Structure 1
Amino acid sequence: MAYNEVSVKAPVGKKIYSQEEAVKASFEYFKGDDLAARVWVNKYALKDSFGNIFELTPDDMHKRLAKEIARIEKRYPNPLTEEEIYKVLKGFKYIVPQGGPMTGIGNNYQVASLSNCFVVGNDGDSDSYGGIMKIDQEQVQLMKRRGGVGHDLSHIRPKGSPVKNSALTSTGIVPFMERYSNSTREVAQDGRRGALMLSVSVKHPDSESFIDAKLEQGKVTGANVSVKIKDDFMEAIEAGKPYVQQYPIDSDKPTYKKEIDAGALWEKIVKNAWKSAEPGILFWDTIINESVPDCYADLGYRTVSTNPCGEIPLCPYDSCRLLAINLYSYVEEPFTTQAKFNFNLFKEHIHYAQRIMDDIIDLELEKIDAILEKVNSDPEAEDIKFTELNLWESIKKKANEGRRTGIGITAEGDMLAALGLRYGSENAIDFSEEIHKTITLEAYRSSVYMAKERGSFKIYDSKREEKNPLINRIKDADPELYEKMTEFGRRNIALLTIAPTGTTSLMTQTTSGIEPVFMPVYKRRRKVNPNDKDVRVDFVDEVGDHWEEYTVFHHKFKTWMEINGYKTNREYSQEDLDGMVKKSPYYKATSNDVDWLAKVRMQGRVQKWVDHSISVTINLPADVSQELVGDLYFQAWKNGCKGVTVYRDGSRSGVLLSNDSKEKKKAGSFPTKRPEKLEADVVRFQNNKEKWIAFMGLMDGKPYEIFTGLSDDEDGILLPRSITKGYIIKSWDGEESSRYDFQYINKRGYKTTIEGLSHKFNPVFWNYAKLISGTLRHGMPIHKVVELVTSLQLDNETINSWKAGVARALKKYIPDGTLAEDAKCGECGSDEVVYQEGCLTCLSCGSSKCG
């Protein structure tokens, strides 16, 4: 039972379904889509804390949602009926509440929030240790209830600043990045780790250290990181001028200033993004200048950071719930010359969506009351519960006062293809802008109508918003709407976003969010036994494992095939597949094909009609230059984007394959003769209540040997926790007797040596360590070594605990994207499970399991 859940036994007479029953029924519901069926059953079907399933198909879920939303509607004039709500939810066709709302609405078996996104922070930007620890506890409290969290580190004083405690000077930002990251990794969310965004202003003197932190192996693996870029920094780069960093970053009288080479820092940002897809960029002046909530900054709505995917910039203790409108469903006669978009129905449903979103705020307020009631009833002392209670009271106040909503979309790529528009072309960009302009005008119109019937958000003031660029675009596009808004107010402080829609798009069976199709046709691999009867072997990897490759069609590409007379249940040659794609509207419109600058222009034009932000990735081939990444960032800034992320093919890899055959790079071997001195990492971990330590000798940054065991003073491992790096040195006690010492630099700059690592631990550990080190030195892939270690059959419980610890230590070094062979996703059943930052991550549904 998870700590945050209240276990309630199923009521008498309540039908309970087995996993097999629900998957089978949902498989039929999704017309043979096993992945969609398993994702829904594992993530969204109504369950209690014992795993009992109370819904057979998504239709049961949609009736549950409709019933609860209709209950809230009855509180207000002119309510929508339960049947009206059900019709727009049914079949994931039109309106799709995302994540938390889908799971939590009407779920009385768990005490959890409906919000997808949170930001926390300190009033007055306190950087005291108490303030920093408070944020750490707050993010954990939110993550345990499945919320994604963001917070900014720009308030922490830079490294070397004087402090009034025994440390004398500040450690700077990076150690706290590690603290927050580690806390995130520790939080369990039904087998998933927490989601965290850390941001810092480029004006902060430690921003360069922040940018570099994630490049160090094993560091800050539990967080996304983004740099808040100011306009004056971009202007300094353009002009080739230096840039002044300072602390505090917004002070007229800073206590610390330094001049830097703006171009050099920019080059580092670009290089790191090219290399690892991080840091992301947040164009902070654009975010603040465009932000409607920031018209109320002095009343507590000053935006400080974003949620983990960057689509919702938030003030401290605000939250947001997400909903997606399925754009494909408004295309009539798709993939024909008669295809057209039904704007009338679309506008009607935008009003439904905004009302449903406002109702979900009321449902969230009920959930927060339940959380507060549970915390108050918990047996802990009041001082222990204080931070958690304060946190939820603050979140409740913001939700009730601002009533922020997050209406977005999915299936933009499929919508354009169904209309015969090539994603990224000028006419497609024009049409997309018109779609998002329509969403803005109708959602704001709905919010104004609700303000007339239900009351405006509590601090609405038309005078405060007079100079806001988005409000003025609305005024220019629809003067009557603006006039009504100034008369009646608006129900919600901000309304719109474009979020990634990973599992949502699996269930709508469409492209994700605003993104183009990834690939209309691709191949998946499944591992096979070559001795099995009738097995087909298409690929043998570098370690001799056999794989079958099979063709997968994107759902709406299959629709195009059927409309154009192609069979979808037969095998096609590669030449035939290429020919089909070339004839389709998906040709030259995939995530890797779309012109990068066109995508930036599209994002900028759509962003003008989104009051929050957009989660979008620019996909680049592996061979692009760093200069191109820098050019794209500049174009994003000039085109009015609020943020941008690039992904260069190969910087992280997976198991989805393009249909082009590419030769696999073979794993190389290390020299078997051990150098006298090796760089080393110190890896600490915990099994149950036992603390363990591993000294990992590295060759070319990869594991070469390992020494590990219990971390106990009695064993002689007296090593400060601050030491994470050093050297393992091979020395000689006699002509034939060797030993291995660990050497590191202490705080005073002196070399310190721990002698005889091989004698510090249990001799049984040492014997197995020699076996493992031997396999590492001969070039066995690390994931194979992990499999070898975990497969050891050992009777001794202590040795088994050691075995698990070694596997955990080694997993940190498995290259991101490595396929976890013979592994299945516990959430959706997919075999597309890869290692990502030491955790097992499913490429199909995004679930992640660590440890």
Structure 2
Amino acid sequence: MTETVSGPTGRKGGRARGRSKGLTIDRVYTTEGVHPYDDVTWERRDVVQQNWKTGETVFEQRGVEFPDFWSANASTIVTTKYFRGAVGSEDREQSLKQLLDRVVLTYVKAGKDHGYFATESDAEVFEHELTYMLLHQVFSFNSPVWFNVGTSSPQQVSACFILAVDDSMDSILNWYKEEGLIFKGGSGAGLNLSRIRSSKELLRSSGGTASGPVSFMRGADASAGTIKSGGATRRAAKMVVLDVDHPDVEEFVQTKAREEDKIRVLRDAGFDMDLGGDDITSVQYQNANNSVRVTDEFMRAVEDGTDFGLRARTTGEVIDTVDAKKLFADIAQAAWECADPGLQYDTTINDWHTTPETGRITASNPCSEYMHLDNSSCNLASLNLLKFLQDDGSFDSATFVKAVELIITAMDISICFADFPTEAIGETTRKFRQLGIGYANLGALLMASGLAYDSDGGRALAASITSLMTGTSYRRSAELAGVVGPYDGFKQNAEPHARVMRKHQAANDAVRTMHAMDIAVHREATKQWAKGIEIGTKNGWRNAQASVLAPTGTIGFMMDCDTTGIEPDFSLVKFKKLVGGGSMQIVNQTVPAALKKLGYTTETIEAIVEYIAEHGHVIDAPGLKPEHYEVFDCAMGERAIKPMGHVRMMAATQPFLSGAISKTVNMPETATVEEIQDIYFQGWKLGLKALAVYRDNCKVGQPLSVEKKKSADADGRGASEASDRDPAEPEVKTVVIEKPTRKRLPKKRPSITQSFTVGGAEGYMTSGSYPDDGLGEVFLKLGKQGSTLAGVMDAFSIAVSIGLQYGVPLETYVQKFTNLKFEPAGLTDDPDVRMSQSIMDYIFRRLALDYLPFDVRSQIGIYSAEERQRQLDTGSYLPAEDEEIPESESLKSSPAPDTDRRGASEASDRDASVAELEREAQIDADDAEIMAESAKPAPRSAHTSAELLQVISGTEVDAPLCFTCGTKMRPAGSCHVCEGCGATSGCS
């Protein structure tokens, strides 16, 4: 059982003498005498989930109750993730009403017990308003609240933890223990290892050399991996930070980059290095995000090109120096190779620190949004910004303010009854009461408002909303201080806390507004900061921190948000899950709202939406003005937002956050190390607190090939033999000109016609072979006849076929084209090749299985489903000597279930209405034309070539598969979240 420390049972932190008698709560959403549930139409739904590999039902709960306006996706995620009780038992929750009551009534009771409300009537209004906002998806608490509050489990409400480790073995082993307890509960933790002495320093006790922090990272990483594998609600997530002046910083920077090299080598040797594969556990440091803490001193040394000192942990003296510019380049190089390490800007972080008299901020949670004292935690909640967009296109600032007031009140109440994994974390959290209010759906709000994400107008609105949120939060915190007292550590930190409030206010005054919408929001933010500082000067503040921007992974889906956290829209076309089962592909609903905002007519809007549905982007959409293209720019697709667009949005909102921002700046595969250096450098210049990058494809390297250098004497003769030749004797050279000979296929030859699906894209492949076996031609059918895509695939087919007939080994093609990554990619309908990184990757894996012998395939690491299963069962891919081998498997792997094997005689008897496709290529003057019988033309596919672009625009190649349901995940801050079941890779 998880070690927990209960919150105070008495009235500590409650109402003090001379303070007001509690809060008066106004009705905003609700009507007196009418419960929020009574104004909603409820319906019963069946939630069934199946194993993506076997089709086996892994979750089933029928007749669950949800409002009719909740999507099937939201109800599925809440049912599977948040309903408590054993499925099938009487105690199992089966209605959203039960879930909301379990949480809300616990908050109300604690609020009354600790003196938050002036009257019973105010407590009832609080209950109704909180219920309404959760019911109508206006906001959501973080996942631990839904997991734990109101249950028999420990009442853990925090998702973010920061630990501490000192330079002693007891402390290091305690770190392992505390981290494990947090992982067991499905949360994540971060810490700074810089107190541990470096491998260049001596041990006090024995005089030997210290191991250094990187060595201890190995043990912690193995522990996290073990606990992750134990079936926790979410995967273990952790952050490891090292200061830039630590003597082992260079080793730390390279840790994960070296491991990525190992992954490539092992994968190419045939080991299973896929996510969750049997052999991936041999790779170290994969369960943590790594970040280097850089100071202004170091960044100025980078800027000036000077040396920088590395300091001993025990004495503080400089024991080594490095070229700052080179170290910075090494950091960027490692990030280019494997996305780690990120940077945390230490000087900036501590300049915005409200409690420096208690201690410095040295670390963050795994996603880098929560940054405060060691051994502390933060509970989160996020607003759905799209709920405040009014019909007239304005942002409802007044209602937004009331919502923030209520949410901050509820979040602070939760600390009164919350349990914590360790005594130290519980003590610090109760003493400083760190909160993390944030939001989701910013990208959707901007698009619906007709504002580009990467634009001055978009940044002005985002900055104004963020400022309004945090200004209102601190104003309510000051009011709470007048009711139940300021946080216990406030008196010691009163002046620095007030200084940070003034910094926020000054940043608000510097916002440059551009439109009526952001002008109105900014005006209200200015009022809230002025009022908050005035009240705080009198009462102090109840909370040392108020706001962060978290990933909002699972809870974003619970609120039916189109975009998570501060992220832009991911793509213009998404898959929508249907209540009755299945899914459909639709254009984002924010697109027509944006077009209406921009002044387009209904007819034009319909035409543009239809164009987007077909093409997946807005380029050349009928009637759409080119100057409006930028409004529809997304994270992926034809008009992907540039990396600096993401950085500038972070910079616009950072001055109005107590913590930081969980966000990874995605960069194209073609990005250079120098571009990453510039991103990291600009992040410092623009005042960010943390920054991480991800270069597409950086974690899946292409197969390595090393060509041995030929000796000077290619024929093997030594130097002495050459020197013995009579210098007067003329050297006679015989030049042999080798010309490849084409081996044509006979008029009749065996062939295989197979349909396939890769990432939703459908196609057909016909492969013909010589009578004595051996592949001789390949023809591919993909996209509409006459389309560019179909033409390119025809040309590619001819090129490969000619190469095969001229003797290019199939093995060579397989080595070159497998692991090639581009869209469409993802799940296939072939049981032997469940995942493919591109259509080319699939085609040549399938051909290898059909035409290459086992010993050749095994060297490349390509196995059939039966072979992989046999390896799992027996430890060997090959059957036992006494095991009968099916005929199809003795020659090649079994084809997909829908593979159609036909000979040429069958092809000649095809329906007369199906015309043959003739492909012709001129090789040289002596070559005749190449002719081949094509595959039967595909019926009209559910995914035409134009519809493939929808998949292209909405899929990230390097996102991992969900451990729960197998669906490809999508980015959520610096983590990933599954749209199918709501599972995350460690976020809240």
TM-score by length of 2: 0.59
CA separation of 1:170 and 1:353: change in aligned 2, threshold 3 A: same
Residue 83 of structure 1 corresponds to 128
1:831 aligns with 2:979: no
Greater shift in the superposed pair: 310-319 or 20-29: 20-29
Residue 811 of structure 1 corresponds to none
CA separation of 1:51 and 1:825: change in aligned 2, threshold 3 A: farther
SS at match of 1:603: helix
The structure 1 residue matched to 2:254, chosen from 202, 207, 212, is 212
Q: Structure 1 residue 70: deviation in Å?
A: 1.4
SS at match of 2:310: strand
CA separation of 1:4 and 1:46: change in aligned 2, threshold 3 A: farther
Contact 1:191 1:847 in 2 (8 A): no
CA distance in 2, matches of 1:315, 1:518: 34
Matches within 5 A, 1:771-786: 775-777=857-859, 779-781=860-862, 784=863
Contact 1:522 1:552 in 2 (8 A): yes
1:162 aligns with 2:202: yes
- Bigger Rg, which one: 2
SS at match of 1:296: coil
CA distance in 2, matches of 1:575, 1:453: 54
CA separation of 1:464 and 1:448: change in aligned 2, threshold 3 A: closer
CA distance in 2, matches of 1:473, 1:819: 38
1:261 aligns with 2:323: yes
SS at match of 1:430: helix
Q: Structure 1 residue 73: deviation in Å?
A: 2.1
Q: What are the Cα deviations for residues 645-692 of structure 1, in whole angstroms up to 9, with x where unaligned?
A: 1122223589979999899999x99899xxxxxxxxxxxxxxxxxxxx
Matches within 5 A, 1:316-331: 316-331=374-389
SS at match of 1:197: strand
SS at match of 1:324: strand
Residue 515 of structure 2 corresponds to none
CA distance in 1, matches of 2:373, 2:789: 48
Residue 94 of structure 2 corresponds to 56
Supply the AA of the counterpart residue of 1:484.
I
Contact 2:47 2:64 in 1 (8 A): no
Residue 545 of structure 1 corresponds to none
Q: Structure 1 residue 149: deviation in Å?
A: 0.7
CA distance in 1, matches of 2:565, 2:311: 38
Supply the AA of the counterpart residue of 1:396.
G
CA separation of 1:178 and 1:242: change in aligned 2, threshold 3 A: same
Contact 2:246 2:311 in 1 (8 A): yes
Q: Structure 1 residue 549: deviation in Å?
A: 12
CA separation of 1:793 and 1:129: change in aligned 2, threshold 3 A: closer
CA separation of 1:272 and 1:793: change in aligned 2, threshold 3 A: closer
CA distance in 2, matches of 1:273, 1:819: 17
Q: What are the Cα deviations for residues 674-719 of structure 1, in whole angstroms up to 9, with x where unaligned?
A: xxxxxxxxxxxxxxxxxxxxxxxxxxxxxxxxxxxxxxxxxxxxxx
Matches within 5 A, 1:229-308: 229-248=294-313, 253-254=315-316, 257-297=319-359, 302-308=360-366
CA distance in 2, matches of 1:234, 1:787: 55
CA distance in 2, matches of 1:291, 1:825: 38
Q: Structure 1 residue 178: deviation in Å?
A: 1.2
Supply the AA of the counterpart residue of 1:39.
I
Residue 222 of structure 1 corresponds to 287
CA separation of 1:556 and 1:613: change in aligned 2, threshold 3 A: same
1:350 aligns with 2:404: yes
Q: Can you give the 5+ residue segments of structure 2 that lack an aligned partner in the other structure?
A: 5-43, 49-58, 263-282, 507-525, 702-757, 762-782, 801-808, 814-852, 880-955
Residue 730 of structure 1 corresponds to none
Q: Structure 1 residue 146: deviation in Å?
A: 1.9
Supply the AA of the counterpart residue of 2:329.
E
CA distance in 2, matches of 1:247, 1:49: 56
SS at match of 1:485: helix
Supply the AA of the counterpart residue of 1:178.
R
CA distance in 2, matches of 1:657, 1:236: 50
Greater RCO between the two (CA within 8 Å, min separation 6)? 2
CA separation of 1:494 and 1:4: change in aligned 2, threshold 3 A: closer
CA separation of 1:789 and 1:562: change in aligned 2, threshold 3 A: farther
CA distance in 2, matches of 1:430, 1:818: 32
Q: Structure 1 residue 574: deviation in Å?
A: 2.2
The structure 2 residue matched to 1:185, chosen from 207, 213, 225, is 225
CA separation of 1:638 and 1:435: change in aligned 2, threshold 3 A: same
Q: Structure 1 residue 566: deviation in Å?
A: 3.7
SS at match of 1:198: strand
CA distance in 2, matches of 1:601, 1:576: 24
1:314 aligns with 2:372: yes
Q: What are the Cα deviations for residues 764-803 of structure 1, in whole angstroms up to 9, with x where unaligned?
A: xxxxxxx9986430x234xx57873335585899x99xxx
CA distance in 2, matches of 1:121, 1:451: 29
The structure 1 residue matched to 2:868, chosen from 768, 786, 789, is 789
Q: How many residues align?
A: 651
Residue 420 of structure 1 corresponds to 450
CA distance in 1, matches of 2:298, 2:680: 13
Identical aligned residues as a percent: 23
Matches within 5 A, 1:625-704: 625-652=672-699
CA distance in 2, matches of 1:466, 1:848: 36
Q: Structure 1 residue 600: deviation in Å?
A: 2.0
CA distance in 2, matches of 1:661, 1:265: 45
CA distance in 2, matches of 1:142, 1:420: 43
TM-score by length of 1: 0.68
Residue 574 of structure 1 corresponds to 615
1:514 aligns with 2:596: no
CA separation of 1:522 and 1:842: change in aligned 2, threshold 3 A: closer
Q: Structure 1 residue 448: deviation in Å?
A: 0.8
Matches within 5 A, 1:386-785: 392-461=422-491, 464-466=494-496, 470-474=500-504, 478-510=529-561, 511-521=563-573, 551-554=585-588, 556-557=590-591, 564=602, 566=606, 572-574=613-615, 587-592=631-636, 593-652=640-699, 775-777=857-859, 779-781=860-862, 784=863
CA distance in 2, matches of 1:640, 1:295: 23
Contact 2:475 2:531 in 1 (8 A): no
SS at match of 1:340: coil
Residue 202 of structure 1 corresponds to 244
Q: Structure 1 residue 37: deviation in Å?
A: 3.0
Q: Can you give the 5+ residue segments of structure 1 that lack an aligned partner in the other structure?
A: 6-15, 369-390, 526-547, 673-770, 801-815
Matches within 5 A, 1:89-104: 89-92=134-137, 94-104=138-148
CA distance in 2, matches of 1:600, 1:508: 26
Q: What are the Cα deviations for residues 152-193 of structure 1, in whole angstroms up to 9, with x where unaligned?
A: 111111114222566921122222111111111111353533
Contact 2:977 2:983 in 1 (8 A): yes
Contact 2:485 2:542 in 1 (8 A): yes
Contact 1:420 1:585 in 2 (8 A): no
Q: Structure 1 residue 398: deviation in Å?
A: 1.2
CA separation of 1:785 and 1:465: change in aligned 2, threshold 3 A: farther
The structure 1 residue matched to 2:160, chosen from 117, 121, 126, is 117
CA separation of 1:787 and 1:173: change in aligned 2, threshold 3 A: farther
SS at match of 1:573: helix
CA distance in 1, matches of 2:98, 2:590: 25
Residue 44 of structure 1 corresponds to 82
Q: Structure 1 residue 586: deviation in Å?
A: 7.0
Q: Structure 1 residue 555: deviation in Å?
A: 5.1
Supply the AA of the counterpart residue of 1:483.
E
Q: Structure 1 residue 404: deviation in Å?
A: 1.0
Q: What are the Cα deviations for residues 445-494 of structure 1, in whole angstroms up to 9, with x where unaligned?
A: 10011111111111213864348653213565544432321211111111
Q: CA RMSD in A?
A: 4.2
Q: Structure 1 residue 62: deviation in Å?
A: 2.2
SS at match of 2:356: helix
Contact 1:355 1:446 in 2 (8 A): yes
CA distance in 2, matches of 1:463, 1:3: 33
Supply the AA of the counterpart residue of 2:858.
L
CA separation of 1:197 and 1:497: change in aligned 2, threshold 3 A: same
